[in-house]
C-alpha cells in the first residue's frame, strides 16, 4: 500500500496493507493482509470476472459480489447484511496503471447510516 496516495476517510488507516492477487481468468483470487492499531487481519476473497456472482465471508458478514469489466476497469459490486443487521452496498473500481506497476482501487460504501469513499493505491512488488 502506498499510504501517502491512499485515503480511508473516517475508517482507521492501516499501518500496512498487502494484496496478493492471483488471476486465473475468469477466477480472481485475492488474499489481503492488513496491520493496524487493532492487530493483523487477513481475508481471502474470490470473484469471477465474467459477470458471475460469488459469495465471500467478509469481516462484517457474508457478501454477495457481482464482478464485471467496464472497459479496462474491473468493477466489484458487493451487497451484505452486517452482523448488526445493517444493509451495505459497496462498489469497487479497480484500475491498473498503463505500466502495470500501480493498482488503484476506488470504493464507495453505502449504508442506511450514510456513505463513504475510499481510495487504495498499491505498488507492484513482483
Using one digit for the tens of pLDDT, what is the confidence trace for 30-39? 999 999 988 9
Using one digit for the tens of pLDDT, what is the confidence trace for 95-119? 999 999 999 999 999 998 899 999 9
**What integer best gives the mean pLDDT of the chain?**
94
Q: Identify the helix (H) or strand (E) that includes residue 19.
A: strand 16-24
In three-state secondary structure terms, 47 is: strand
Question: What mean pLDDT is predicted for residues 56-81?
Answer: 93
Q: Identify the helix (H) or strand (E) that includes residue 24.
A: strand 16-24
pLDDT higher than threshold 80 for residue 126: no
> Quick one: pLDDT at residue 4?
94
> Quick one: pLDDT at residue 83?
82
Amino acid at each position: 500500500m502506498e499510504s501517502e496516495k491512499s485515503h480511508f476517510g473516517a475508517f482507521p488507516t492501516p499501518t500496512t496493507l498487502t494484496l496478493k492477487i492471483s488471476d486465473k481468468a475468469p477466477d480472481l483470487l485475492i488474499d489481503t493482509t492488513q496491520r493496524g492499531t487493532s492487530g493483523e487481519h487477513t481475508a481471502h476473497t474470490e470473484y469471477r470476472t465474467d459477470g458471475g456472482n460469488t459469495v465471500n465471508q467478509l469481516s462484517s458478514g457474508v457478501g454477495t459480489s457481482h464482478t464485471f469489466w467496464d472497459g479496462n476497469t474491473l468493477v466489484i459490486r458487493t451487497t451484505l447484511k452486517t452482523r448488526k443487521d445493517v444493509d451495505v452496498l459497496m462498489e469497487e473500481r479497480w484500475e491498473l496503471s498503463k505500466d502495470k506497476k500501480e493498482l488503484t482501487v476506488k470504493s464507495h460504501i453505502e449504508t442506511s447510516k450514510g456513505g463513504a469513499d475510499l481510495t487504495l493505491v498499491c505498488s507492484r512488488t513482483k
